[in-house]
Amino acid sequence: MNRDEAYNFAYLDENTKRMIRRALLKAVAIPGHQVPFGAREMPLPYGWGTGGIQVTAAVLGAGDVLKVIDQGADDTTNAVSIRRFFNRVAGVETTTHTGDATIIQTRHRIPEAALTEAQILVYQVPMPEPLFRLEPRLAETKRMHALADYGLMHVKLYEDIARHGHIATSYSYPVMVDGRYLMSPSPIPAFDNPKMDRMPALQLFGAGREKRIYAVPPYTEVRSLDFEDHPFRPHRANASCELCGSRSSYLDEVVTDDRGGRMFVCSDTDYCETRQEDQQTENAKGEAA
């Protein structure tokens, strides 16, 4: 515990936490529905996950263990800043190990390791409205959600198919939650969408600039929109990780030198490092035997 006593626990004042907590409960009660909340100014700029930070701050307790990832990595500036922030204002333990975390705040990925009932996944959301590119008028998108009138999104996806032969959306691929609400999964790769379906962990989403909170309760159906003749197929580079050999994880292509050298590595650094450590342990055992 090295909490900075100059701040209220987890930075937010108690009135703000109560307001966010009420919004979270209604979000859980109406899966996939965007609940407005009175977002507060945070000591980090928009785009740094102020919505996710406010959700985490309202949920977090002294006994929690927090993990923060950005594009799958624990060591980016964004992830490190958020982890330091909560260590300072809440004194909570932090970790990079997915399995040790009780709360995981994420930007752009879902961990490869299956999450459990004892965990909460908090997504940072830049744009909560899945229809915003198709219908910029807020009043109109509210009406569409009220009526579950999502024909516009189907038309858009079908135009994708007509133009590209497949659905060209590879990030923020829209999902239906519990068969009722169209929801943006945040800018995670479509590869991660199936992990949301019937996940044992509670999933919470915070959009700071747009002042919206939404949620997917545990074990809730999350289905990526598709068509019978064009079923949803999450894309993954056809390669294995150069570091751990995984053929099932989501890969990033990284540049290795200034002569155009490239390689594929796991985007989830904890998953990759854990696999490498396990392999070293196995090798050591093999040599000892």
Partner 1 sequence: MMRPGFADPVQDAQSCFRAVLEALSRPGRVQTLASGLTPPAPLHPATAAVLLTLADAETPLHHDAGAEADAWLRFHCGCPMTAAGSAAFVLAVTPPPALATLQAGTDEEPERGATLVIQVEALEAGSGWRLRGPGIEAEHRLAVRGLPDGFLADRAARRGLFPRGVDVILCAGDRIAALPRTTLIEEG
The number of beta carbons lying within 10 Å of the beta carbon of residue 255 is: 10
Q: Pseudo-torsion of CA 115, 60, 189, 246, nearest 10°?
A: -40
179 is catalytic: no
User: Measured from the CB atom, is 35 or 125 closer to partner 1?
Assistant: 35
Of 104, 125, 122, residue with least CA distance to 113: 104
Q: Is 114 in the site for partner 1 (CB under 8 A)?
A: no
Sole window of 48-56, 115-123, 225-233, 235-243 interacting with Zn ion (rule: CB under 5 A): 235-243
Distance (Å, whole) CA 200 – CA 203:
9
Q: Which does 27 bind (CB under 5 to 8 A by kind): Zn ion, partner 1, none?
A: partner 1
Answer for which of 3, 21, 88, 230 binds partner 1 (CB under 8 A) is: 21
State the sign of the Cα–Cα–Cα–Cα dihedral 233, 235, 239, 240. Answer: negative
Tokens, residue 133: 């590119």
Q: Is 6 in the site for partner 1 (CB under 8 A)?
A: no
SS3 of residue 80 by DSSP: helix
Answer for which of 4, 29, 113, 248 binds partner 1 (CB under 8 A) is: 29
* Secondary-structure percent of the chain, ordered helix, strand, coil, rounded to 5: 35, 20, 50
Whether 255 and 238 have beta carbons less than 8 Å apart is answered as: no
Whether 49 and 208 have beta carbons less than 8 Å apart is answered as: yes
Phi-psi region of 21 (alpha: psi -120 to 50; beta: other; left: phi over 0): alpha
Answer for which of 3, 7, 9, 230 binds partner 1 (CB under 8 A) is: 9
User: Measured from the CB atom, is 157 or 176 closer to partner 1?
Assistant: 176
241 is catalytic: yes
244 is catalytic: yes
Count of residues that bind partner 1 according to CB under 8 A: 44
61 is catalytic: no
Answer for which of 42, 53, 59, 265 binds partner 1 (CB under 8 A) is: 59
261 is catalytic: no
Q: Which does 146 bind (CB under 5 to 8 A by kind): partner 1, Zn ion, none?
A: partner 1
Q: How far is CA 83 from CA 97, 155, 215, 275, in A?
A: 13, 41, 22, 24
Distance (Å, whole) CA 234 – CA 54:
30
Q: Is 24 in the site for partner 1 (CB under 8 A)?
A: yes
Q: Is 266 in the site for partner 1 (CB under 8 A)?
A: no
In whole angstroms, the minimum distance from the beta carbon of 142 to partner 1 comes to: 5
User: Measured from the CB atom, is 83 or 145 closer to partner 1?
Assistant: 145
Q: Give the interface with partner 1 as residue ranges (CB under 8 A).
A: 8-10, 14-15, 17-19, 21-31, 33, 35-36, 58-62, 117, 142-143, 145-147, 178, 180-181, 198, 200, 202, 216-220
Where do contacts with Zn ion occur on this chain (CB under 5 A)? 241, 243-244, 246, 266, 272
Catalytically active residues, by annotation: 32, 241, 244, 266, 272
